[in-house]
Amino acid sequence: MTIDVPQHILDALTDVDMPRLSPETASSETIRVADIDLPIYRAGCVVVGSGAAGLRAAVELKRRGDDVVVMSQSAWGGTSACSGSDKQTLHTANIADQGDNFKAMARAIRAGGAMDEDTAYVEAVGSARMMASLQFLGLPLPQDSLGGTLRYQTDHDEVGRATSCGPRTSRLMVKVLAEEAIRLGIPFFNHTTAVKILTEGDGAHRRIVGVLTIRASDRTETNEFGLALFACEVLVLAAGGPGELYRDSVYPNGCFGSLGLALAAGVELVNLTESQFGIGTRREGFPWNLSGTYVQTIPHIYSLDANGREHHFLAAYYRTTQEMASNVFRKGYQWPFHSTRMLDFGSSLVDLAIFRESAAGRRVFMDFNRNPLAVPGDLPFDLERLDDDVKHYLGNAGAGQALPIQRLRHMNPLAIELYRRYKVDIAAEPLEFAVNNQHMNGGIMVDTWGRSSLAGCYAIGEAAGTHGVTRPGGAALNAGQVFGTRVGEHIGASGRAKVASRRDLRAAAGDGVLKLLALLKTDSPLTVKVIRSDVQARMSDKAGLICEAESVSAALAEARRLNAQIRQHGIAYDRAAEAGRALQWQQMALASEAVLEALDYFIRNGGGSRGARAICDPAGESLPQSSTGPLEAFRFRKERDAHREEQIVVRLDGERMAVDTRPNRKFDETAKAFFERDWPAWLTGTIYDLESD
């Protein structure tokens, strides 16, 4: 029986209105540097990014009496507020049944390798507190009649630690945290783009003193670009991932993240080889992941060629209709591409097939009004002829309806409503989609308190490289909340952000402004359009889910040449208002080189296929098969076990990227806390390790 969810409930979980920001406080201080009247804003701590992670940090800082402001390129316009999936997942300890074992959860979080064991435990043990605090703020996580949180299985999750508010889970998280931030009186500076981190001191004594920004509201006759200085003692980078890095992307438009910003400041990055790719609708229309119930309804997937002819292409990969349909279903909780799942006719063979159709110039569609066509020569699709795990799931869900759209309406009507909001009626017409870049698992290297390699600079959310090779679906939302809280605690304990910075930054600001102005050249042959096309095509074509050694090496050489040209010629702009975007593309070009440097290093040192990418090699040990024979062009290397125990570290050293490795930090599962012995470390603040700041 289908439960008829009233329209007003569907509306409330789909159309999530965000709170109105309070008026900004104007700058009361200006300095003259490089012939520019530069306004100064002062704070103890600046949080860059207004997504769920950044807002959590800001709220925790304010609750501890710190002087904190939030700056955002576009408030409520990032991935937290604008991205999602069928029932976007929050991955936390399962406290609905018999409780959870935090050590077991930590092992599951780090199971993909290249992740610090202590970080995984921090995320596990912090998840229960994080979820409870979000519920306290009003996040409507679903419960049963006895108060247990409803759970389900997600990517890389065998226990069922996932829960959801529906497709807008992260937007609802942003909403409740934003309302709390506004209630606490935290100042927001919207339409503010961070373009350069300022530091003072040398070597181990170098630390954050501020950040230069571009703000439209600060453009004047004596400041045509709208440059502004935010003086601060502490900086928290929470601006998300490098969404503009790939042409084929499910990120909302304009998501640049802060990896290039951090690289330019000499901050160390880690695990840049690790991303996620999966099926979804592209950002040219409405960017959304097609995981969960979208594919668990088992719609018909087909492609159209240039002449409009339909191709039932999956039938060329799977041996039977049952095998094909069951693996389409499994994309629901095996959503990210994973090389090993191309083997043994697994679910990532679906991704490879779609990737090949797109590369051949065909458009791929999902039709919810048709069940999958039969594999030629085999029996037709039948809900009774599915693999046991699939049949069991659909049986428990009561999803025995005749057509995919009926099964989707029964299991998740919000999934249909969401596309309707963007003028796409999947109940009436097929949905075009592709394999897209979706998430950066690497990022800024941090310790268990969120500290980067630059004193005073922290990173959280997708900006932080904490996830390793793979992660359970929704673990990123959990990590952002846990580390947002940890950062708030650590900064609060340090006392560095209690009052606004009073430093005289004329020298640092002057040097920073001159370096920015040197990049902005009206006569440069390099335009934003040229750089964007160059970077995105190279990353999508040479560093996507299918890679091989020579093409990655060639792509790295091209990326180095582009950055050398930018240093020599700068970036052109037509109007002063375009300067900020030009500087962001300079940062993105840097981030692209760093990713390719790490990937090339990994492959040259025998790196194999794992997580996001298949490293194709004629001598590779693994060979995907299709129903028509071996897919020799996609033979790939296996991952080396030793590489799971280390992480690749990248930093900008002068004009070249320096690459090295470091072992994963360990966590002793046999160690036990003892109250009387360990309480003094908490009372005295020793747990925060402030002496190393």
Helix (H, G, I), strand (E, B) or coil at 420: helix
**What is the reported pLDDT for 97?**
56
> Any idea where the domains of the chain sit in the sequence?
278-438, 516-663
**What is the reported pLDDT for 538?**
97
- Which residues neighbour 163 within 8 Å (Cβ) at sequence distance 6 or greater? 89, 90, 92, 131, 141, 142, 149, 150, 151, 152
Count Cβ atoms within 10 A of the Cβ of residue 502 and give its class: 0-12 exposed, 13-18 middle, 19 or more buried. exposed
Are 127 and 159 a contacting pair, CB within 8 Å? no
pLDDT digits (tens, 9 = 90+) for 579-632: 999 999 999 999 999 999 999 999 999 999 998 899 999 999 999 999 999 999
Which CATH number fits the domain 516-663, given the four candidates 3.20.20.150, 1.20.58.100, 3.90.1150.10, 3.90.1300.10? 1.20.58.100
**What is the reported pLDDT for 98?**
54
Are 189 and 23 a contacting pair, CB within 8 Å? no
- Cα dihedral value 627, 633, 635, 640, nearest 10: -150
**Mean pLDDT per 10-residue interval, the chain, length 693 residues:** 66 82 92 96 98 97 98 89 77 70 92 96 94 94 88 80 86 95 97 97 94 97 97 97 93 92 98 95 84 94 97 98 98 91 97 96 97 97 97 95 96 88 92 94 97 98 94 89 98 97 96 96 95 97 96 98 98 94 97 98 96 94 96 97 97 97 96 93 95 81
Are 275 and 326 a contacting pair, CB within 8 Å? no
Count Cβ atoms within 10 A of the Cβ of residue 119 and give its class: 0-12 exposed, 13-18 middle, 19 or more buried. buried
**What is the reported pLDDT for 364?**
97
Residue type, 114: A
**What is the reported pLDDT for 185?**
97
**What is the reported pLDDT for 179?**
97
Q: Which residue has the tokens 């996507």?
A: 544
Closest CA to 461 of 17, 8, 11, 49: 49
Closest CA to 271 of 102, 477, 113: 113
CA 257 – CA 141 distance, rounded (Å): 28
CA 294 – CA 407 distance, rounded (Å): 10
**What is the reported pLDDT for 1?**
39
